[in-house]
Amino acid sequence: MAKRLSPSDTMFLYGESREQMMHVAGMMPFTPAPDSPPEYLRGLMDELRAGATVHAPWNLKLSTPDLLWNPLQSWVEEGDVDLEYHVRRSALPSPGDERELGILVSRLHGHHVDLHRPPWELHLIEGLERGRFAWYVKVHHALVDGYSAMQALTTGLSHDPEDRERPLFFGIPRRPRAPDAAPSDGDAASGGGIHFPELLAAIRAQYGASKTVVRALMNVIKAARAGSHDLISPLEAPRCVLNARISKSRRFATQSLSVARLRAIARAANGTLNDVVLALSGACLRTYLLEQGALPSAPLVAMLPVAIRAKDELGGGNAVGAILATLATDIDDPAERLARIVASTTRAKQQLQGMSKPAILQYSALLTAPSMLQMIPSTAGHLRPTFNVVISNVPGPERPLYFRGARLEASYPMSIPVHGQALNITCNSYAGMVCFGFTGCRDTVPHLQRLAVYCGEALPELEHAVLHG
């Protein structure tokens, strides 16, 4: 059985280079069950080696891994998946704190996956403080997108702490995809797992299909200029240190904040949860860039991948779209910053909602197209960026999950920096928390941990300004 890669999946192979690695990952810390023996993870490995069946897509590998650009590239089944390769044990050096965990997963995220095998790895990391452990799960985006990977991972976890039998995610047959899988909370700007590179693939398809790209681009820009200031056009993003070339090393930082606290702010500001995520991102970026003396005078522009049902579709199928939103980093007052963001996303979503699906695709493609050029090393940092940072918000499970009695503490997404986009902010919601993952190039985004710290500090400031201001 060979399955040809979609143009979208192929895109991730084109992007793969020594510095740009097109894999996504999750960092998932667990608190073990009180009755877990100390050799719990070691025993798990023995169990795995005893031979689990590996189901699709986790048993699929590329047909011609030495010719990544092969237009006939397809997925073929690996008869005997080497689980000893794919499932690995690691350990933290002392003291096994969050810092050491961050160092290890940053390092793991900076290594390529082997495209001669099914391109995924599960690392079981022991040696965390208080007997805890963590998963680092990595999957190449050509095999499965981050949202689907998160969904699949979740099927290998249980809401029941007493469920000790459930196989790991790769041992569970894939369920056919629900035909009507629109985002549940009606928040158009929630990512639903649509990532920046997927958008690039859509753009590529679009460029192949349309002969009138240049004219359409002019129309979008003209419309943007004629319209409200709240509608961000591709010409407005300032030059910023975040839009430079990247190296192969990564840094990763996390922050988890209460969904309830974010929702309270959103309600008061007449915005969405996602608007508050943008406001917190804007706040930490403002502080971070100010500190470096690198804050552009014009506000930073974020690109938000969106999953939105177009008005001419009755059901089924998500359109992959993008909107640009201001992060209002030129404004010092947190409440005013949030208000500016709410106005910006509201206007952008209204714009999308009035469009047909092909028009959304065309529009999104044009918004983000110039950033494709940035992915070419020689142009990165020389072109003016279309946007400064990609911010995704992926909804996840609302109730706590367990792995054989061990409680999943949080679920932090790790995404894909590319040339010209050295920082990615992705959030997963899980069990009442918004889990922020800041994934950046080690060299282009120094002291990345500070972003996470400043993001946490921005929440009480925003609460004070909006709720008690």
Q: Which of 3, 61, 174, 248 binds its own copies (CB under 8 A)?
A: 248
> With CB under 8 A as the contact rule, which of the stretches 35-43, 230-238, 259-267, 291-299 interacts with its own copies?
35-43
> With CB under 8 A as the contact rule, which of the stretches 87-95, 320-328, 331-339, 365-373 interacts with its own copies?
87-95
| 111 touches its own copies (CB under 8 A) | yes
| 89 touches its own copies (CB under 8 A) | yes
Block residue for tokens 């089924």: 316
**Cβ–Cβ under 8 Å, residues 119 and 140:** yes
The sign of the CA dihedral 437, 110, 128, 39 is positive
| 88 touches its own copies (CB under 8 A) | yes
Total of residues contacting its own copies (CB under 8 A): 34
Question: Max CA-CA distance within the chain?
Answer: 66
Q: Which of 141, 382, 464, 468 is catalytic?
A: 141
Determine the Cα–Cα distance for residues 362 and 211; give it in Å rounded to an integer. 12
> With CB under 8 A as the contact rule, which of the stretches 108-116, 162-170, 327-335, 460-468 interacts with its own copies?
108-116
Alpha helices in 233-392 (DSSP H): 259-268, 273-291, 334-353, 357-374
DSSP string, 83-131: HHHHEEEEEPPTT--HHHHHHHHHHHHTS---TTS-SEEEEEEE--GGG
Cβ neighbours of residue 266 closer than 8 Å, sequence gap 6 or more: 272, 273, 275, 276
CA atoms within 13 A on the CB side of 386: 23
| 420 touches its own copies (CB under 8 A) | no
| 126 touches its own copies (CB under 8 A) | yes
**Cβ–Cβ under 8 Å, residues 248 and 19:** yes
Q: Smallest distance, Å, CB 418 to its own copies?
A: 15
| 93 touches its own copies (CB under 8 A) | yes
| 90 touches its own copies (CB under 8 A) | yes
Site string for its own copies, 372-411 (x = CB under 8 A): -----x----------------------------------
Q: Smallest distance, Å, CB 383 to its own copies?
A: 17
Between 174 and 248, CB nearer to its own copies = 248
Between 125 and 390, CB nearer to its own copies = 125
Q: Retrieve residue 403's tokens.
A: 């792995």
Determine the Cα–Cα distance for residues 239 and 297; give it in Å rounded to an integer. 10
Strands 389-394 and 301-308: parallel
Segment 340-379, which members bind its own copies (CB under 8 A)?
Answer: 377
Cβ neighbours of residue 39 closer than 8 Å, sequence gap 6 or more: none
Between 195 and 442, CB nearer to its own copies = 442
Instruction: Look up residue 390 and give its amino acid.
Output: V
> With CB under 8 A as the contact rule, which of the stretches 24-32, 122-130, 254-262, 330-338 interacts with its own copies?
122-130
Instruction: Look up residue 46 and give its amino acid.
Output: D
Beta-bridge mates of residue 426: 392, 437
Between 100 and 275, CB nearer to its own copies = 100
| 46 touches its own copies (CB under 8 A) | no
Q: Would you call 159 a catalytic residue per the annotation?
A: no
Between 218 and 376, CB nearer to its own copies = 376
| 66 touches its own copies (CB under 8 A) | yes
| 115 touches its own copies (CB under 8 A) | yes
Please state, in angstroms and as integers, the Cα–Cα distance from residue 393 to each residue in 2, 111, 366, 367, following that order: 33, 25, 22, 19
Q: Which of 3, 61, 112, 267 binds its own copies (CB under 8 A)?
A: 112
Report the phi/psi class of residue 287: left, alpha or beta, with left for phi > 0 and alpha for psi in -120 to 50.
alpha
| 48 touches its own copies (CB under 8 A) | no
> With CB under 8 A as the contact rule, which of the stretches 27-35, 86-94, 278-286, 392-400 interacts with its own copies?
86-94
| 49 touches its own copies (CB under 8 A) | no
Determine the Cα–Cα distance for residues 44 and 41; give it in Å rounded to an integer. 5
| 247 touches its own copies (CB under 8 A) | yes
- Report the interface residues with its own copies, using CB under 8 A: 18-19, 38-39, 41-42, 66, 85, 88-95, 100, 103, 107, 111-112, 114-117, 124, 126-127, 247-249, 377, 442-443
Hey, which residues are catalytic here?
141
